[in-house]
Structure 1
Amino acid sequence: MLLVVVAVVWFAVFLVLKCFEARTGGVLSRFLQERNISLYLGYVSWTTTRFNAPLMSAGAKHRRWLDGWFGLGMAFGLLGLVLSVVLLLANLFIVLRIGFTEISAPITSDVQRLATSIASGALELNASLSASSAAMQRAQMALHTTHRALHAAEVAVEHTASTYGEVLRVNAGLMAPLVPGVNLPHSQIVYVLLALLISVVLHEAGHALAAGVEDLRVTSVGGFFALIFPGAFVQIDGLEQINVRRQLKVYCAGAWHNVVVAALCAVLVVALPVLLAPLYVKHKGSVVISVPRGSALSSFLSVGDVVGSIGHNPTPDRESFAHALAHLKFVNESRGFCMAPGFVRMSSTGSGCCAIARAPPERFLRTLAARQSLANPLASGEHTQLQSELDDYRLREPREPTELRSSDEAEHELGKSVTNTSASEHEEKSEDANLITTEGASQEVEQPSAADSRIRGGSQCFKRLFSNAADDSGEMYCIPPRLMKHIETCEISEDCQKVELGADSSTSTREAQGCYSPVLPAGQKLIEIVVRTAGEERQIFFQGQPEVLARSIVLSDYRPRLTSLAGFWWYRAFVAWNLPRKLDRLLRYTLSISLCLAVLNMAPVYFLDGEASAILFVRLLFPRIKTGRLEHVKAWILKTGTALLICNILVSLSAASAS
């Protein structure tokens, strides 16, 4: 789509310029010629002689060591010629093989499903007749556990890839042409174009320097844009008049420079943490660089905050963050809050909200449909109550991320309604809460007033956790979250301390607190997030699915050193700019594109350096070959290489578009 837009823009601009040219009597043509600019539909180029002398003098001045340098380049040229053919053949084979596998996959899957159903039926029959059914069940449970572990690893990999802004493609082969909107996200275009510009400029600089070493005259250098893709070129005079070995040094110099650039980029990627050490520290906490619009965390996290841990799992970097979420998805651990039984009894509004928390949504849908289909319509009050219950469940549903709001120093709320409204609307809707935010570890408990105790809206269902399952009576309580503040977390009641009861110390008694865990809908977790802001640590409890949390935040492995300045707007702007990630991405794209240019440019293909290099290597290796035979060999090599490259491009584009 982007290329279509670019083509339309090019056509419109070219049409306007041609109309202007016709009305002004050639003024535009003379203006472009005076500045050595050539303009065609979809193509513009510029040439200059300004850099001829500096490039030639640099080559002549350092001829002694540059001659050996470009001698290494000639050796790589021969290796690159062979590698390019092998790479093109291997890539074509891989892409075609993957395509054939995808075509045959539906048929194979149908056969496998049929075989599985037959096998499962046989297993069920054997299980009912055989005494080894228990062992079979244990084996199935072990297999199920393995599948869960593999899925957890897959979730972690997908999250890591998504935070990098990259797309996982299994059918891309060894290489693929980068086409914006097809296999190249629009957000990556700037990096690709800049990396391409760096690669081609240094490529042509290699040709120019090698020409200076060989006492050849550089007539001009220039650059061009074809649609949106940049390029460069060097025009050298007298190249065909020198011997084969010297010609090869000039032709192979560009690809050799691309190899060096790729190697340098690889070193810089590895050394990036050291180079950025004065400004950043790595693996010391996952730093928030962006909270996407509409994210459930938009009201709780700010750019520059450091996520220290997820569910008691340290998160020094994005990879550990992803693994922590993948772990939480399959770990059935319950976390609760320390509350005195007396406070629970006084604050509880019954257990009506617990039916909503535990029941599946189909129960409400079926009941509502049945009641609406009665001959006598449902009374408005009863209908309203049922609809309210259904709406309440939808707020708790795993598919709906729970919005967060930061808490005061004086009050810490449990829960929040799902909303993406303004700050004033957040205040109005804070009655219905599904999310817990706590700060500090104080055990103060605010006693509810009579009016607060009557409030049913926004109540959260709790049940007490016991270390001994026999002690669990199954009793549940609905407690308005806003009645609690400064509450400790726990896993069992033994984690909680005792609290003082009574007006004075002489008559007071100590009551053991219990560990009360929220009752959540299926698929949801209560995830504790430890966040540091300007040196101050706070806790956020996220109720929802781990994968929703993974999509609600963008993190970086690099934490700025001056965290004490986190309160300033320019600090947050600096963090949001995400300089380490931008540099890392540019270096990686430059490495990939430069290495690709180094190999493919030596391929025996028309209009590439390999067109001349391939024949020169034949002449170098077979100096006595006859001219007529050389022409036949040249035609066969170039036609085969060009056809191989075209097939790779077409097949790779087809595979990329299909994915």
Structure 2
Amino acid sequence: MIPVPVVVCVLGGWCFVYLTDVLLKSSVSYRHGYEAWLGARGLSLSPFHLRWQTSIFNRIFSRCARINPHALYLWFTSGLVFGIVSMCGSVVLLVRTLQQTLHQMTSDQEPQGANQQTLQVVVPGVNLPVSQLAYFFSALLLSGVIHELGHAVAAIREQVRVNGFGVFVFVVYPGAFVDLFTTHLNLISPVQQLRIFCAGVWHNFVLCVAALCFLFLLPVLLFPVYSTGSGALVTEVVQGSSADGPRGLYVGDMVTALEDCDVRNVDDWHSCLTASIHSPQPGYCVSSLTLQPSWAQGRAFRRLDGSIECCSNNSLTDLCFSFSKLQAREFACLPVRKMLSGSSVCRSNADCHSNPDDQSPSLCVTPSLENQTRLIRLTHPPNSHMLFVGYPPHLQYAVSLTNFAPRFGFLNLDLPVVTETFCKYVVSLSGALAVVNSVPCFALDGQWMLSALLEATLITMVRDRQRRELIGFFLLLGGSALLAANVALGLWMVTAR
């Protein structure tokens, strides 16, 4: 959850700013000077909303609109086609998301794999970690600026005046906007209007694709200074977690294997941990001379799940192991680290090949653990193995890793992580803005896209303008209800479960 001091600071800061604004505007001495100062800087203030508008970028927009008229025509016409397709696709996607949400509400199972939703409501501090807020807001602002840049350039190309460009902050969420001259906008044809209205979602889609390509090319771009494919590099270890401690992991360690599962990158790390959850606990090949059953460490007892415990509860270095010997199942309490040193992974006694010079055969011993508990041996050379006993997802949350290992000691470990994380947020948020703004919904781009589309296509079939507007109103009403249902149920799913 969001820390209470952060909430207090945000609410307190907005209250202070708004009360100061009210006092200055109600003051006889300072009112005119204060309002003139706000107007000269393009600032406007309302409860939890700060807005800044300027015309200094209009010249840049004009230059961009005159770069190559024919290429820009093809560019924004492609955006028109994409906007129409995305408007239909967004409705289908929202219907599918709503069905998935309703299914999850009536099911106790967590969504996995292909059943995960494509669109999810994001609530900072709930399903968005507070540590990721800087990435979230930066990517959101960039996506909004690129979105409005598309509108501005398309409008100037269609001979519509741009009054100004601005940015705003609503509570803590940043955004951008362009102010178009409405009279010019109403004079152009519906097709020209469509090019302008669709330019925002089109630019969001292009930004999403560009960030995705950059993300895939990142290993190539960083190849001269960062290497990949040799393992997963530890960049952070949560203090007090299962991976912390003298025999645990440290920042800069390279994890290369989890038991017999090779780790070449972060995806392999997650795959190996997932496999350890769904696969039976592997065993280890140990000489039979060390496997004399002994209950000296404590009396054996059966746990609630049926597993056997044969070590003392006070033991921090020993673990109960089970093995098959002469068709019987036996148990022995053994020192874990000493026993696993140099041993190979096995599933049965047949996997253990005895040394011909050794008179005692090797047997496959398996930790006697509770159902979801696993013993996992992590390889991170040149250090000795890290041994983890617990639920594998706890290990996943205990460390942060990256695919990029610096080739030189002075390089920052976090640079590739920051770049990669920011690109992922840009892909997600820019793609989400393209989808949401395409929905035929009141107050979104989809409202104007739908109105212009109906004017361009229904004018010959429905000559009465009021009827066309009525058709558009009901379509917008349906799209708004669909989006509102997704947001409301999405918020309930995030906050109530």
Same fold (TM over 0.5): yes
Does residue 14 of structure 2 align to residue 10 of structure 1? Answer: yes
SS of the aligned residue for 2:229 comes to strand
What is the identity, as a one-letter code, of the residue corresponding to 1:214? E
Q: Distance in 2 between matches of 1:393 and 1:538?
A: 29
- Counterpart residue number, 2:281: 331
Partner of 2:133: 189
User: Which stretch of structure 1 is more off in the superposition, 186-195 or 39-48?
Assistant: 186-195
Whole-Å Cα distance in 2 between the matches of residues 473 and 648 of structure 1?
55
Deviation readout 1:422-466 (Å, 9 max, x if unpaired): xxxxxxxxxxx45xxxxxxxxxxxxxxxxxxxxxxxxx8899x99
Distance in 2, matches of 1:628 and 1:477, equals 85
Match of 2:124 among 180, 185, 200: 180
Q: Which residue identity lines up with residue 137 of structure 2 in the other structure?
A: L
2:191 and 2:492 map into 1 onto residues whose CA distance is: 40
2:30 alignment partner AA: G
Which ranges in structure 2 are unaligned for 5 or more consecutive residues? 305-309
1:80–1:548 CA distance, 2 compared to 1 (3 A): closer
Determine if the alignment matches structure 1 residue 588 to structure 2 residue 424: yes
Is 2:321–2:334's contact at 8 Å kept on the other side of the alignment? yes
Q: CA deviation at 1:180?
A: 1.9
Distance change (3 Å), C-alpha of 1:562 and 1:485:
farther
Partner in structure 2 of residue 406 of structure 1: none
Instruction: State the partner residue of 2:444.
Output: 608
Corresponding position of 1:215: 159
Equivalent residue, structure 2, for 1:201: 145
- Cα distance in 2 for residues equivalent to 1:479 and 1:236: 75
2:320/2:368 contact within 8 Å kept: no
Match status 1:315 vs 2:234: no
C-alpha spacing 1:179/1:313, structure 2 compared with 1 (3 Å) = closer
Distance 1:191 1:41 in 2: 25
Would you say the 8 A contact 1:497–1:513 is kept in 2? no
- 1:622 corresponds to which residue? 458
Matched, 1:242 2:204: no
Letter in 2 for 1:36: G
1:598 to 1:525, Cα distance in 2 relative to 1, 3 A: closer
Query: What's the RMSD between the two structures over aligned residues?
Result: 4.1
Which amino acid in structure 2 is aligned with residue 205 of structure 1? L
Q: Which residue of 2 aligns with 1:530?
A: 379
Indicate if the aligned counterparts of 2:404 and 2:416 stay in contact, CA closer than 8 A. no
Structure 1 CA distance for aligned equivalents of residues 424 and 115 of structure 2: 20
Query: 2:93 maps to what in 1?
Result: 87
Deviation at 1:618, TM superposition (A): 1.3
Q: 1:82 to 1:494 in 2, by over 3 A?
A: closer
Deviation of 1:37 (Å)? 0.8
1:516 Cα offset (Å): 9.5
Q: Structure 1 pair 480/69, CA: closer, same or farther in 2 (3 Å)?
A: closer
Kindly provide the amino acid, as one letter, of the partner of residue 430 in structure 2: S
Amino acid of the structure 2 residue aligned with 1:589: Y
Matched AA of 2:437:
N
User: 2:302 and 2:235 mapped to 1: Cα distance?
Assistant: 37
1:63 paired residue number: 69
Q: Secondary structure at the match of 2:70?
A: helix
Q: Residue 48 of structure 1: CA displacement?
A: 0.9
Superposed, 1:311-390 pairs within 5 Å as 311-325=259-273, 326-327=275-276, 330-336=280-286, 353-355=296-298, 358-359=300-301
1:220 positional shift: 0.8
SS at match of 1:330: coil
Alignment-derived partner of residue 560 in structure 1: 405
**Distance (Å, rounded) in 1 between the aligned partners of 2:440 and 2:264:** 48
Distance (whole Å) between structure 2 residues aligned to residue 647 and residue 206 of structure 1: 29
* Deviations 1:320-375, CA, capped at 9 Å, x for gaps: 3445454486134134479xx7xx8xxx9x9664335x44589xxxxxxxxxxxxx
Amino acid at match of 2:251: V
Paired residue secondary structure (1:334): strand
State the Cα deviation string for residues 304-335 of structure 1 (Å, max 9, x = none).
11122232432223343445454486134134
Aligned to 2:472: 634
Query: Which structure would you say has the larger Rg?
Result: 1
Q: 1:170 to 1:34 in 2, by over 3 A?
A: same
**1:42 correspondence with 2:48:** yes
Q: Distance in 1 between matches of 2:405 and 2:397?
A: 22
Unmatched 5+ stretches in structure 1: 107-157, 159-166, 363-389, 397-416, 418-432, 435-459, 499-510
- What's the secondary structure of 1:597's corresponding residue? helix
Matched residues in 1 for 2:265 and 2:225: separation?
17
Q: CA deviation at 1:600?
A: 2.5
Change beyond 3 A, Cα 1:640–1:323: closer
Return the offset for 1:543. 5.8
Once the two structures are aligned, what percentage of the paired residues are identical?
Answer: 26
Indicate conservation of the 8 Å contact 2:298/2:312, yes or no: no
Could you say what secondary structure the match of 1:652 adopts? helix
Matches within 5 A, 1:544-559: 544-545=389-390, 547=392, 550-551=395-396, 553-559=398-404
User: Are the aligned partners of 2:215 and 2:423 in contact in 1 as well (CA < 8 Å)?
Assistant: yes
User: Whole-Å Cα distance in 2 between the matches of residues 93 and 546 of structure 1?
Assistant: 32
| Partner secondary structure for residue 623 of structure 1 | coil
Per-residue deviation, 1:196: 1.3
User: Retained in 2: the 8 A contact 1:316–1:557?
Assistant: no
Q: Which moved more, 1:229-238 or 1:618-627?
A: 618-627
Please tell me whether the aligned partners of residues 286 and 317 of structure 1 are also in contact (alpha carbons under 8 angstroms): yes
In the other structure, the counterpart of 2:307 is none
Show CA shifts across 1:176-203 (max 9, x none).
3322234433333322222211111011
Q: Does 1:25 align with 2:54?
A: no
The answer for the alignment partner of 1:649 in structure 2 is 487
Name the residue aligned to 1:251.
Answer: 197
Distance 1:605 1:548 in 2: 40
Read off the aligned partner of 1:287 and give its amino acid letter. Answer: L
Partner Cα separation in structure 1 for residue 223 and residue 264 of structure 2: 16
- Displacement, 1:256? 1.2
Counterpart CA distance in 1 for 2:230 and 2:480 is 51
Structure 2 Cα separation of the partners of residues 278 and 63 of structure 1: 39
Shift of 1:607: 1.8
Shift of 1:39: 1.2
Q: How many residues align?
A: 472
Give the Cα separation in 2 of the matches to 1:313 and 1:630: 63
What is the SS of the residue equivalent to 1:284? coil
Name the counterpart of 1:149.
none
How far does the alpha carbon of each residue in 1:99-149 deviate from its partner, in whole angstroms, 9 at most, with x for none?
3x33xx79xxxxxxxxxxxxxxxxxxxxxxxxxxxxxxxxxxxxxxxxxxx
Contact residue 243 and residue 395 of structure 2 kept, 8 A = no
Measured at CA, do residues 528 and 542 of structure 1 come closer, stay the same or move farther in structure 2, by a change above 3 Å?
same
Q: 1:212 to 1:486 in 2, by over 3 A?
A: closer
**Aligned CA distance change for structure 1 residues 269 and 64 (closer, same or farther; 3 Å):** same
CA drift at 1:530: 2.5
Instruction: Please give the TM-score of this superposition, normalised by the length of structure 1.
Output: 0.62
**Distance of 1:307 and 1:217 partners within structure 2:** 58
Are the aligned partners of 2:147 and 2:201 in contact in 1 as well (CA < 8 Å)?
yes
Alignment partners' CA distance in 2, 1:487 and 1:243: 78
Partner amino acid, structure 1, of 2:439: A
> Structure 1 289/337 Cα, relative in aligned 2: closer, same or farther at 3 Å?
farther
In 2, Cα distance between the equivalents of 1:471 and 1:90?
Answer: 55
CA distance in 1, matches of 2:448, 2:321: 78
Q: How far 1:621 moved relative to its partner? A: 1.0
Separation in 1, partners of 2:95, 2:363:
64
Query: Aligned letter for 1:47?
Result: Q
The amino acid across from 2:232 in the alignment is: S
CA distance 1:653–1:67, shift in 2 (3 Å) = same
Within-5 A mapping of 1:398-413: none
Give the deviation of 1:272 after TM superposition.
2.7
